[in-house]
Chains A and B, each alone.
Chain A
Amino acid sequence: MKIEDISKKTDQLIRIEQSDLMPLPYPYDNPEKNPPMKMLTQEQRDRYEASLDGVLAIGIPKPQSAAEEKTFIDKFLSGLAKLFTKENNWTFLQPLMHSLEYCVKCQLCNDSCPAYIASGKKEIYRPTFRPEVLRRIINKYLKKSPLSPPPSQGGPGGLWLKFTGSDIDLNWITVARLAELAYRCTLCRKCAQVCPLGVDNGLITHEIRKLFSQELGIAPKELHEQGTIQQLKVGSSTGLSPKALSNIISFMEDDIEEKTGKRIKIPVDKKGAEILLMHNAGEFISWPENPEAFAIIFDAAGIDWTLSSELVGYDAVNYGVWYDDIQLARIAIAHAETAKKLKVKKISVGECGHSHKAMIVVADRVLTGDLNIPRESALPLLEDLVCNERIKIDPNKNNFPVTLHDPCNMVRLMGIVEPQRKILRKICPQFIEMEPHGVENYCCGGGSGFAIMQSMNFPDWRSVISGRVKLKQILETFHDTISPEIKKYVCAPCSNCKGQIRELFNYYNVWEECGIFYGGLVELIVNAMVDIEKPFIDWEWH
């Protein structure tokens, strides 16, 4: 396959075949026994542009007329031009220019990409493929060089463009495929980490997503309409309203009492509290045991804390960080305003990787003046409570094999590596590291929004391709204890990673076949607390 093939009208650029995929270890070492990827229906194919790889993350409807095609291309080009203007894209202009201009195409980064290796090295998933397509479009259609206009526009461009390797045709299919392709990279930035020249192919993907969202209004609906738009409107990307939150909090208080025998009042909207704890609202709905565990720990340690019931303030997520700078800024400001109103001393982010990165790191240059409220991860505080014995722990209660998944956003992109490990070393006698780990970890496959994207057959792609390396790592880590009789635990201190691991394990039936469970970090802490009599982890698959 050549790069310029992205513009050619073919049924599908690549096909994902079981036999091409990276092999998995036992008990998934027979590719024929592994579940096949769902195919799109004919109706879906007729309706949407699916000629990239037969998978749909966005699902762009096919154009009905030549005029519609032209508008689409023109808008794409106008958006592309805006990416290079200071007023529209000061946010990432310097990193973007660097990454576009200084890649020497040595391909050193290729083998660090989980999607590329898992797919059996399909060309379109190569970290350098997307950037190269974009570079060619820019060189041919955007740059004002006297040599670059194509012959159709009166320049000698044809030959020159071929000579300089900028040969590509911009048509509807190129643009639609590029939009889909921007959602085959998890923005894990492992490729960027190995690049000797500081080029960041993940960043280029991020910028392509932005151009589609900010100029054409195109983004996966789970990130946009049901994500950031819904969060700003009803308070949470989950659709959770303040009223529903209040019901869940009551439920959590009852649940804590049932599990621990203690009645804990979960503080909400407590003015002047030391800490405003912000969770990914998905925790309240899918894994309430996680915010419950936080409440138990904070109560036991006598921490002065509160949750918020303010719109947006009870959902730490900020999907804008993956696809849209304006949405990122709006949500970051809403988060900070919640804290400002409550007059808390600081915001502490619970177990959600991208919320960490968005709220603490990226939004640091969005929040100015009195909105710049101190923000930190909850992990150093937990480390302090556990390692300095501010809560009593009996590690024998966690005497089962445990491994740690490093969420990219928290670790490679933020440098929070040791607090979670120090805790696990203290509370889990059978803690074992995955390889590679820490800042060199592999993404769970659900990064950059993938974990919540449910479009058509995209969830299958996520389990078969983007999560494949993580599954392999987990199976290899528990290689010696792989029998389902031995219960094992993957600690993933991130809601999105947990969502992805749940789907991945469901897809391959990992709980039944290998006895591998998953959950957060605080659940393990509470499970080991001396004054909690019953086990907190119930080993009930959900």
Chain B
Amino acid sequence: MTPRTTELKKHYDVVIIGAGGHGCATAYYLAKYHGVRNIAVLDKSYLGAGNTGRNTAVIRSNYLTEEGVRFYRESVRLFQDLSNEFGMNIMYENRGQLTLAHSDAAVRSFRWRAEVNQHLGVRSELVDVTTIRELVPHLRVEEDCRYPILAGLWHADGATARHDTVAWGYAKGACDRGVEIHQLTEVQGIEIANGGVSAVRTNRGRIHCGAIVQAVAGASSVVANMAGISLPIQSYPLQAMVTQPYKPLLDPHVSSPHLHVYVHQTSRGEFVIGGGSDPYPRYQTQATLEQKEALAAAALELFPFLAQAKVMRQWAGTTDMTPDYSPVMGLSPVKNYYLDAGWGTWGFKATPISGKMMAELVATQRVPDLIAPFDLARFQRFTQVNEAGATAASH
């Protein structure tokens, strides 16, 4: 999917900064449901060049807070119908997700999560080691290892999809409805008049606009700063790697927050291995040897047979981490400037619902209930939505 290159117009009703999944989805739903079509989506690089093209495509809704579970549950629902909606196969595969507990504290938190999840209609249950053996026969569950597995949180709704296609599907659907996507168009400045945004400055000239949505993931603080907005975010690299393809033998997604690793096998046969963030912030997407070693060591604890596997690629994306591991989305201190940020290591699964909610917000100027808890002002109110336990190293 290559968006057509056209001249920039002088004015757009809405400028969306960032042509990742979130930016394209916002444009798509604005055009589809709200009749807003004079939209430009600007990207300094190419469509899906950011974390949309770098993530490990874990889709799930077994979070811990009610606010979180409600929100991600809606996203999973939208994902299930996305191939039909796009007329494009996003390769959505509902394989389930198994999260492992290696400590009593983790078992306790899994019980808690399962209760919250079930209460809200999400398939999520605590399972014992016998069930774990049945779900993942190749997982090492021996007791004579460093961190024996005590129990698991089984999330039957867990899934994966082809990440690029999600951006392409939204981009195509948006362009079909009159939206323009401009690649290699970097926003370098934001002009504010009478408390609201009036224009953006880009490497291709100045554009007047009625509203701006920023959906730039790893560049959230840098872009918000152009509008004079400070965010509760620090940008850390997150790395992942993938092996050569092998015959299919791992069905669900398996995650161990304790070992800082998660593994799944794609339908092409590659093992995707991801884990924790880098130890300190950087605006760099180099992969490091240290992280490769850490990921490999942890993956081998779970799946010793991977010792034979050859790593094909290793990469990183810059992730905008918030203190409570929930996003920052909604209104900002600047009128007509809307934030879709703080997606850290968990925002791919939120692509459809974020786009839908941001579109509703921009079109109606009312904050939808589903995203009200994630507003920037929660930090001033001290009402954070703490997903730390349900997010770190599970994505």
A and B bind: no
Which residues of B does A touch, CB under 8 Å?
A: none
